[in-house]
Amino acid sequence: MREGGRDDAPALEVDGLSFSYSGKPVLEEVGFRLEAGQFTVLLGPNGAGKTTLFSLITRLYDRRVGTIRVDGFELRRHAVAAHARMGVVFQQPTLDLDLSVRQNLTYHAALHGMGPREARRRAEEQVARVGLGDALKTRVRQLSGGQRRRVEIARGLLHRPRLLLLDEPTVGLDIAARRDLVERVHRLCVEEGVAVLWATHLIDEVYPEDRVVVLDGGKVRASGSVSEILAASGGTSIGEAFDTLTTGPVEVVS
CA 143 to mean position of chain CA atoms: 23
- Please identify, using beta-carbon distances, which residue of 52 and 106 lies nearer to ligand ADP: 52
Rounded Cα distance, 100 and 84, in Å: 24
Query: From the list 38, 40, 52, 223, which residue makes contact with ligand ADP (rule: CB under 6 A)?
Result: 52
Q: Supply the minimum distance, in Å, between the C-beta of residue 26 and ligand ADP.
A: 4
50 touching ligand ADP, by CB under 6 A: yes
Q: Shortest approach of ligand ADP to residue 49 CB, angstroms?
A: 4
207 binds ligand ADP (CB under 6 A): no
Strands ordered across the beta sheet of 219-225: 86-89, 163-167, 195-200, 39-43, 211-216, 219-225
- Dihedral class, residue 178 (left if φ above 0, else alpha if ψ from -120 to 50, else beta): alpha
What is the spatial distance between Cα 232 and Cα 153, in angstroms, rounded to a whole number?
33
Shortest reach from residue 194's CB to ligand ADP, in Å: 22
CB 101 within 8 A of CB 79: no
**Residue nearer to ligand ADP on the CB measure, 46 or 236:** 46
Least distance from C-beta 76 to ligand ADP, angstroms?
21
CB of 53 to ligand ADP, least distance (A): 7
Out of 11, 14, 33, 49, point to the residue binding ligand ADP (CB under 6 A): 49
CB of 34 to ligand ADP, least distance (A): 18
CA distance 229 to 245: 9
Amino acid present at 238: I
* Angle at 199 (CA atoms; ends 194, 205), nearest 5 degrees: 90
Q: Which is nearer to ligand ADP, 68 or 119 (CB)?
A: 68
Question: Looking at beta carbons only, is 24 or 137 nearer to ligand ADP?
Answer: 24
- With contacts defined by CB under 6 A, how many residues of the chain interact with ligand ADP? 10
Query: Binding to ligand ADP by residue 92, rule CB under 6 A?
Result: no
The answer to whether 127 touches 119, Cβ cutoff 8 Å, is no
221 binds ligand ADP (CB under 6 A): no
Q: Indicate whether 46 belongs to the interface with ligand ADP (CB under 6 A).
A: yes
Nearest of 42, 28, 32, 30 to residue 10 by alpha carbon: 32
Candidate ranges 49-57, 74-82, 95-103, 133-141; the one touching ligand ADP (CB under 6 A): 49-57
Residue 38 dihedral angles phi and psi, to the nearest 5°? -95, 135
Q: Which is nearer to ligand ADP, 42 or 153 (CB)?
A: 42
Sites of contact with ligand ADP (CB under 6 A): 21, 26, 44, 46-52
